[in-house]
């Protein structure tokens, strides 16, 4: 699976999808929320206050949640 991201500028939250496996639960780890599968694999990462904790970059151009995600790794 190719890396996929969405960014919500209103919430200032970046979500990075790491797997096609459906998330079962999430847990906070500092400024991150890790989403786990039923088998305890990390399948997604959400970064809150993204503009404050990440360096400026292409992640700001990621589609809004609910829009079709683009392949960020190919860019």
For residue 60, being part of any structural domain is answered with no
Long-range contacts of 35-42 (CB under 8 A, 24+ apart): 42/18
For residue 73, being part of any structural domain is answered with no
For residue 12, being part of any structural domain is answered with yes
For residue 41, being part of any structural domain is answered with yes
Q: How many structural domains compose the chain?
A: 1
What confidence score (pLDDT) does residue 2 get? 74
Count Cβ atoms within 10 A of the Cβ of residue 22 and give its class: 0-12 exposed, 13-18 middle, 19 or more buried.
Answer: exposed
Domain limits for position 49 = 4-54
For residue 65, being part of any structural domain is answered with no
What confidence score (pLDDT) does residue 68 get? 64
Residue ranges for the chain with pLDDT beneath 50:
70-75
What confidence score (pLDDT) does residue 31 get? 82
Whole-prediction pTM value?
A: 0.81
């Amino acid at each position: 699976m190719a890396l996929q991201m969405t960014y919500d500028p209103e919430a200032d939250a970046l979500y990075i999808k790491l797997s096609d496996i459906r998330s079962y639960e999430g847990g906070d780890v500092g400024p991150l929320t890790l989403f786990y599968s039923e088998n305890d694999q990390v399948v997604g990462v959400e970064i809150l206050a993204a503009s404050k904790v990440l360096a400026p970059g292409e992640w700001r151009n990621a589609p809004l949640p609910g829009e079709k995600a683009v392949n960020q790794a190919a860019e």
